[in-house]
Structure 1
Amino acid sequence: MKKFKTVFNQVKSLEGAEAPDMNSLLWQLICYSPKMPVRLQQQQLLDEAHQFTLEVDDPHFAKSALKFNGFIWGEGNRKIMITHGWGSKAADFAELIAALKNIDGVRIIAFDTPGNGSSEGELSNLLLFAKAAEAVIKTYGAPDVIIGHSLGSMANAMAIKETGAKPDLLISIAPLTNLKENFIASLNAADVAQTAQDNFFADFEEKFDMNASGFAFNNLYPAGSISRHWLAYDPEDRVAPFPFLNAVLTAHPEVETKVYEGRGHERIIKDETVIADIISLIA
Structure 2
Amino acid sequence: MKRLKQIVNELKLTQADPDAALMREFIFYSPKMPLRLHQEQLIATSKQFSLNVFDTYFTHADVSINCFSWGNGKCKVLLTHGWASKALDFYELIIALQQIEDLEIIAFDAPGNGSSVSEFSNLMLYADSVKSIALNYAQPDVLIGHSLGGMANVIALQELGITPGLLISIAPLIRLKENFEQSLDSVNINAQHQDIFFNNFAKEFPVPASHFNLTNLYQLSPDLDHFLAFDPADHISPYSYLKEFLSKFPAINSKSFEDVGHYKILKSADVIEDVVRKIEALN
The two structures have a TM-score, normalised by structure 2, of 0.96
| Aligned residue type for 1:8 | V
Match in the other structure for 1:118: 115
1:76 maps onto 2:73 in alignment: yes
Tell me, yes or no, if the aligned pair for 2:229 and 2:254 is still in contact at 8 Å. Answer: yes
Match in the other structure for 1:26: 23
Tell me, yes or no, if the aligned pair for 1:165 and 1:225 is still in contact at 8 Å. Answer: no
1:127–1:49 distance in 2 versus 1, CA, 3 Å: same
Tell me, yes or no, if the aligned pair for 1:164 and 1:225 is still in contact at 8 Å. Answer: no
The match for 2:238 among 238, 241, 265 is 241
Point out where structure 2 has 5 or more consecutive residues left out of the alignment.
Answer: none
| Aligned residue type for 1:149 | H
List per-residue Cα deviations over 1:201-241 (Å, max 9, x = no partner): 11100000101100111233232176200000001111111
Percent of residue pairs bearing the same amino acid type: 45
Where do residues 259-278 of structure 1 align in structure 2 (5 Å cutoff)? 259-278=256-275
Point out where structure 1 has 5 or more consecutive residues left out of the alignment.
Answer: none
The match for 2:40 among 40, 43, 59 is 43
Match in the other structure for 1:93: 90
Tell me, yes or no, if the aligned pair for 1:166 and 1:226 is still in contact at 8 Å. Answer: no
The match for 1:210 among 185, 201, 207 is 207
3-state secondary structure, aligned to 1:280: helix
1:17 maps onto 2:16 in alignment: yes
Tell me, yes or no, if the aligned pair for 1:78 and 1:143 is still in contact at 8 Å. Answer: yes
1:221 maps onto 2:218 in alignment: yes
Size of the aligned set, in residue pairs, is 280
Tell me, yes or no, if the aligned pair for 2:29 and 2:120 is still in contact at 8 Å. Answer: yes
| Aligned residue type for 1:242 | Y
Tell me, yes or no, if the aligned pair for 1:85 and 1:148 is still in contact at 8 Å. Answer: yes
Distance in structure 1 (CA, Å) of the matches to 2:161 and 2:127: 13
Distance in structure 2 (CA, Å) of the matches to 1:194 and 1:62: 29
Distance in structure 2 (CA, Å) of the matches to 1:82 and 1:125: 17
| Aligned residue type for 1:4 | L
Distance in structure 2 (CA, Å) of the matches to 1:197 and 1:238: 20
Distance in structure 1 (CA, Å) of the matches to 2:275 and 2:129: 23
List per-residue Cα deviations over 1:249-271 (Å, max 9, x = no partner): 01101111111111001111011
